[in-house]
Structure 1
């Protein structure tokens, strides 16, 4: 059976609830009115009985020779004037002196409810069944001039007559109940539509699924995410946020003020201004991070804000990997370009019928290539580093730079625990900087030398160029800031990254003046090395 929609359930529940309440209210109202009417009728009967008992002509009638002759007309007159069902007058023995049915005069009163009046002289209301039926009775004793009880007055109103009176009110109550039910149904319908509209026409199961999917999505994001309400109280924080903020995984952030967790946050300013902050740099608990802050709006009202942030080191690592890919791509492009030029030259020589020159060029190129391959096979056996060196050799040819692979180079294979992508980044940045350092020199003076050697305990990398070297005024800050001898403001990242990568490998780097006249960078990486905590975390995440 298909489950009813939320709107139908809200409407049905509201309509039934209002109907039940209206009906119960009507029934309660009926009983309240009936009890009130009975009380009023009883009080009226008692009042008539007491007033009648105090009349002098009633007292005089009891002392007459024929009490019935005197009292019967008085009782009938009182009954007619008050609207009572009956007015009965009896002596102190309960024998009737007056009664609406003449045949019952002289007989004993029935109902067994005269004792309080005849014995104790009390006036009261009772409910009893007499000869005319069940009635509410007002009983009052009759006293003579000396205060002795000489008789009783009983004024009654039949219950049947009161029931007829009650029924008159039932119709009115029923109308009110029906109107209340109709208004309740109308209100339930409006309420159901408004609630469904507020919930974007979603069913409870859809809302539950969205909530589950939302939590899964937020937790799957590698960026830290923190949401706050309009008062700056945290309403949501994912596990990545706890990790980036260096907080234990069991820390509860929801319900805390954002100032307590991130004292230097700008989220309150976003809540006030409604302005977005995109790709802003800030320090989070001692860590550099890139932060985005966006206000949450409902219509024109700002009800909160969300901040997403990621460690700068993660972004730097991605940039580094992209840089490596770019270097490989550039090396392949250079190699392709060089071989295209070589093929064009051979093609031209053949078309000119210069077969001897073409064969000689092929022999020279083949010999050079074989020499390089043999050198790599014997002296630089690690394919990872060998590939990037060959790529730079081809790039050097394209740039008209004499790229020297030192004949003392020797490396069988990089240890598995040392991260190869860090070596690629170090060599790539140093060689690229060296190419740039000599690009303005005359072609015959463009020299770059590289040495990669394993001495058993450490791996030594030397990169030297014939450029102008590093100016003395930036030597102290070259490893700390984005320093470049070029005018481009987007440069100066390379040496900072080289230093970080060397530190992550547990090594050291030195800058000297080389024999070629320019800068000489000497990198030393211990083969037993270590990974910095950050690098270790990054590697574990990647693996």
Structure 2
């Protein structure tokens, strides 16, 4: 029985219950029918005996010299017409005047007569000459209310049993109907339970729950189970950490829109659609999300969705660092190519015995190359930013773009994560390069300095000479997956990462059209009131 499915156990249990209930109801109905039959027989015999006792003919007969001669024919006729087994009229000393068997006339009545002699009628079950019977005994009273005789009318228990048994078919019909209805209902419920439990038994379900719960909390990826209504049925600790979910309350699922999830993830969970390797950006993480419907079989409706969430933040950070290294490598390659050309020029001038012109050319080239580096190093105390800007300048030169870098004053970047600054400046410049490459001016401007109204705020402006952005694009430009480059463009992750990095630093980012796209980033420094408010906020 332990190997039976839960549906079979439920069906057998229900069937046993229905059988027990039907048997109990049948027994109660049987006892009720028996009691009603005996009560009806008692009331009928009491009515017959009372009718005899109140009959003036009986009163006159019992007072005659030979009562039996008059009463026996009368009693026999009434017994035959009413179907009564016996009507016994007797003297107060129990001497019978009438009886079903005439040989018993004159004998002594067998039964209780004390209550009748006292003037009261009563009913009893007693064993007499005809066997056990249901009988009523009524006194015959004179005009002075004196007891002058007694009348006993009764039917045998066998006769009562025949009447009782006549009701048994109805009892069995009711029992059979209850059993049939109970069996059908149990069968339907068991079939529904079989579909709901996939035909598994209690031990299998228990073992499966323990195993799945262990797997749920042991995997390193976040796992979220939702029902068709978009409610979070179950999620593991990793998912709670990645999505900042509140502690799960068993049996009380909460809707995905009510737990503070990012809009893109909330829409995904409530939609129930399939997702494979989708990137979603929260305030501090980059997540890769996969989602599949939970379908027991091909023909069934989905029971919900299973969503796996993987933290891609560190990989994106490494990707940014690799991209930065590629930028620097490209810059070095471009500088090497340019220096080789310039070195060939200097050598050629020396060979032509034009040493003064060669010295002037070399000095001017050195001054131009060193000027940007000196300005950036003097203004920014972060070597990562310095290396990035030098590399981007070389990259712009290699792509035929004019990059103007303006660093106003000395910037204090202490307390800021250099990786966030690299993410912000690098991605904004990459987008500006792509936009400017398709324009006639092919110009990009980068301005970094402190805000005039608030010296504790760093302003980063990146503008390009591209086609600019429409109003709709300005609203969607920071959304994950959006790209103004069309289907062949990037996956739309760069500006989403910019917004994420700006949020981590407690700043803001805006975009406008000014003869091209113009991005403005405001970042509070470590000692500014804006950063303090953000830290407490």
TM over 0.5: yes
Distance 1:228 1:291, change over 3 A: farther
**Aligned counterpart, 1:30:** 30
Structure 2 counterparts to residues 131-530 of structure 1, below 5 A: 131-171=129-169, 173-174=171-172, 177-178=175-176, 180-182=178-180, 184-219=182-217, 220=219, 222-223=221-222, 225=224, 227=226, 230=229, 234-244=232-242, 246=244, 254-255=252-253, 261-262=259-260, 315-324=312-321, 395=333, 429=388, 432-440=391-399, 471=445, 473=447, 483=462
Deviation at 1:19, TM superposition (A): 2.2
Structure 2 counterparts to residues 34-45 of structure 1, below 5 A: 34-45=34-45
Which deviations, in whole Å up to 9, do the C-alpha atoms of 1:354-381 show, x marking residues without a partner? Answer: xxxxxxxxxxxxxxxxxxxxxxxxxxxx
Deviation at 1:240, TM superposition (A): 3.3
Once residues 123 and 493 of structure 2 are traced to their aligned partners in structure 1, the CA distance between those partners, rounded to angstroms, is 109
Distance 1:52 1:280, change over 3 A: farther
Once residues 264 and 3 of structure 2 are traced to their aligned partners in structure 1, the CA distance between those partners, rounded to angstroms, is 47
Deviation at 1:435, TM superposition (A): 3.3
Say what the alpha-carbon RMSD is for the aligned residues. Answer: 5.2
Once residues 87 and 319 of structure 1 are traced to their aligned partners in structure 2, the CA distance between those partners, rounded to angstroms, is 110
What SS is found at the alignment partner of 1:98?
coil
Distance 1:304 1:481, change over 3 A: farther
Once residues 134 and 482 of structure 1 are traced to their aligned partners in structure 2, the CA distance between those partners, rounded to angstroms, is 117
Once residues 282 and 482 of structure 1 are traced to their aligned partners in structure 2, the CA distance between those partners, rounded to angstroms, is 24
Deviation at 1:43, TM superposition (A): 0.6
Greater CA drift, 43-52 or 238-247: 238-247
Distance 1:481 1:157, change over 3 A: farther
Q: Is the 8 A contact 1:225 1:240 kept in 2?
A: no
Deviation at 1:277, TM superposition (A): 9.4
Q: Is the 8 A contact 1:139 1:155 kept in 2?
A: yes
Once residues 389 and 251 of structure 2 are traced to their aligned partners in structure 1, the CA distance between those partners, rounded to angstroms, is 45
Is 1:109 the equivalent of 2:109? yes
Once residues 480 and 126 of structure 1 are traced to their aligned partners in structure 2, the CA distance between those partners, rounded to angstroms, is 112
**Aligned counterpart, 2:99:** 99
**Aligned counterpart, 1:510:** none
**Aligned counterpart, 1:380:** none
Once residues 472 and 393 of structure 1 are traced to their aligned partners in structure 2, the CA distance between those partners, rounded to angstroms, is 18
What SS is found at the alignment partner of 1:151?
strand
**Aligned counterpart, 1:374:** none
Deviation at 1:265, TM superposition (A): 5.5
Deviation at 1:67, TM superposition (A): 1.2
Which deviations, in whole Å up to 9, do the C-alpha atoms of 1:416-471 show, x marking residues without a partner? Answer: xxxxxxx99878855642431331469xxxxxxxxxxxxxxxxx9xx9xxxx9973
| TM-score, scaled to structure 2 | 0.58
Deviation at 1:50, TM superposition (A): 0.5
Deviation at 1:174, TM superposition (A): 3.9
**Aligned counterpart, 1:73:** 73
Once residues 7 and 240 of structure 1 are traced to their aligned partners in structure 2, the CA distance between those partners, rounded to angstroms, is 35
Once residues 155 and 492 of structure 1 are traced to their aligned partners in structure 2, the CA distance between those partners, rounded to angstroms, is 106
Deviation at 1:194, TM superposition (A): 3.1
Q: Is the 8 A contact 1:135 1:156 kept in 2?
A: yes
Distance 1:128 1:67, change over 3 A: same
Q: Is the 8 A contact 1:267 1:293 kept in 2?
A: no
Which deviations, in whole Å up to 9, do the C-alpha atoms of 1:36-92 show, x marking residues without a partner? Answer: 111111111111010111111100011101111112122212211111111111112
Distance 1:268 1:163, change over 3 A: farther
Structure 1's unaligned 5+ residue stretches are 332-388, 407-422, 443-459, 505-543
Once residues 204 and 471 of structure 1 are traced to their aligned partners in structure 2, the CA distance between those partners, rounded to angstroms, is 70
Distance 1:150 1:289, change over 3 A: farther
Deviation at 1:481, TM superposition (A): 7.0
What SS is found at the alignment partner of 2:10?
helix
What SS is found at the alignment partner of 1:96?
coil
Q: Is the 8 A contact 2:445 2:462 kept in 1?
A: no
Which of the numbers 113, 130, 144 marks the counterpart of 2:128? 130
Distance 1:60 1:300, change over 3 A: same
**Aligned counterpart, 1:64:** 64
Q: Is the 8 A contact 2:137 2:152 kept in 1?
A: yes
Once residues 397 and 271 of structure 1 are traced to their aligned partners in structure 2, the CA distance between those partners, rounded to angstroms, is 50
Is 1:118 the equivalent of 2:117? yes
Which deviations, in whole Å up to 9, do the C-alpha atoms of 1:214-255 show, x marking residues without a partner? Answer: 54454435447474773x765334323443455676888945
Once residues 267 and 97 of structure 2 are traced to their aligned partners in structure 1, the CA distance between those partners, rounded to angstroms, is 98
Q: Is the 8 A contact 1:42 1:137 kept in 2?
A: yes
Deviation at 1:188, TM superposition (A): 3.6
Once residues 127 and 205 of structure 2 are traced to their aligned partners in structure 1, the CA distance between those partners, rounded to angstroms, is 66
Is 1:54 the equivalent of 2:28? no
